[in-house]
Amino acid sequence: MRVKKSMTYNEILKLWLTSKTDIKIQSKFNYESLILRYIKDSIGILPIHKIRKEDIQIFIDSLQNKLTISTQKKLIYIIKASLSYAYHNHYCNYLDLLDMKLKTSKKTIFVLSREEQNTLESILKEKINIRKICILLCLYTGLRLGEVCGLKWEDINFSSKSLVIRRTIIRVKNSDYNSPQKTILMESTPKSETSKRIIPIPNFIIELLGRYKQKENYFLLSNSEKLYDPRYLESFYARILQKCHIKNHKFHTLRHTFATRSIESKMDVKTLSELLGHSSIEITLKLYVHPTDEMKRTSIENLVEFMAI
């Protein structure tokens, strides 16, 4: 293969991103953010013809204790897809790079303990407001941050006591380079086809929502047609955690906690997978079901009881 003039990996990544015209703007923005944060000043500065498997594995290994398994996999996808682009467009001739078996290391994911969850719920139910209700909603349905921010009153069915996920609110790079705002809010479709789903709402939450019902086309959290910034709910949640004296953690922990409590309550994994909007049971088991010490203790005690029969 005749190789074109050598370029840096950063230059290849820019060309590859430009060529990705078949993906959602949200995904493109996420890829660009990961490149800028992790790749640009490390392996990105290397000439494309000098990159070796060892360089890439060392790069991935250096991030394993800092990133979730999901983020590691996204970085691996970016690397392999961009190198494939480089190979097929004659910027390098390292076909063996495309067959890399990059290792990932799973990072411990935080789940609220029963005691912490009880404390959180007690504080949320004091001086109730729509933001507190939406946090409770996430804790009892596993909604993602962008999904709860994208809920409108027309998505809540008070008769069937359920909600439907039709949209999500995301923050993306501003294409107007003359604007002082580097990012902007936008309404997007759910993460995947399986993310478009109907979820039952617990009775006590549907009753709370009924007190705040507004016009059908209003977002729950903004109380208007204006998009609600997910960062506002994240900040509010962080203040609630501080009041509860609970270690600060990401909003997504509510989703992890919902999944774990669901398994503890003997919910079947297929049902849980559909509630979370996953495309397969395997994803649910790998990403969101985390055995707690209490679950392990109960399992051992059940085993002892079984062996005694």
| Amino acid in position 263 | I
| Residues 183-225 pLDDT 10s | 889 998 887 788 899 999 999 999 999 999 999 999 999 999 9
- Report CA-CA distances (Å) from 13 to 18, 59, 69, 167: 9, 16, 22, 30
Phi, psi of 274 (to 5 degrees): -70, -35
Bigger pLDDT: 80 vs 231: 231
Phi, psi of 172 (to 5 degrees): -125, 165
Of the pLDDT bands very low, low, confident and very high (cuts 50, 70, 90), residue 295 is low
What's the predicted TM-score (pTM) here? 0.72
The answer on pLDDT for 230 being more than 80 is yes
- Please give the residue that has the higher pLDDT: either 68 or 195: 195
Domains of the chain: 9-99 (1.10.150.130), 114-295 (1.10.443.10)
Provide the pLDDT for residue 200: 96
Q: Which amino acid is at 122?
A: S
What is the rounded distance in angstroms from the CA atom of residue 15 to the CA atom of residue 12?
Answer: 5
**pLDDT tens across 44-65, in order?**
999 988 888 888 888 888 877 7
- The DSSP string of the chain is -PPPSP-BHHHHHHHHHHH--SS-HHHHHHHHHHIIIIITTTGGGSBGGG--HHHHHHHHHHHTTTS-HHHHHHHHHHHHHHHHHHHHTTS---GGGGG------PPP-----HHHHHHHHHHHTTT--HHHHHHHHHHHH---HHHHHT-BGGGEETTTTEEE---EEEEEE-S-TTSS-SEEEEEE--SSGGGS-EEE--HHHHHHHHTS---TTSBTTTTBSSPPPHHHHHHHHHHHHHHHT-----TTHHHHHHHHHHHHTT--HHHHHHHHT-SSHHHHHHHT----HHHHHHHHHHHHHHHT-
Estimate the crossing angle of helix 53-63 against helix 69-88, to 10 degrees.
160
Give the Cα separation of 114 and 298 in Å (integer).
15
CA dihedral (75, 79, 82, 83) in degrees, to 10, reads: -170
Measured CA to CA in angstroms, residue 54 lies from 51, 62, 67, 87, 304 at distances of 8, 12, 20, 18, 48
Q: What does the pLDDT read at residue 268?
A: 87
Taking only the tens place, the pLDDT of each residue in 90-127 is: 888 766 666 666 665 555 678 999 999 999 999 999 99
Residue 198 phi, psi (nearest 5) = -105, 130
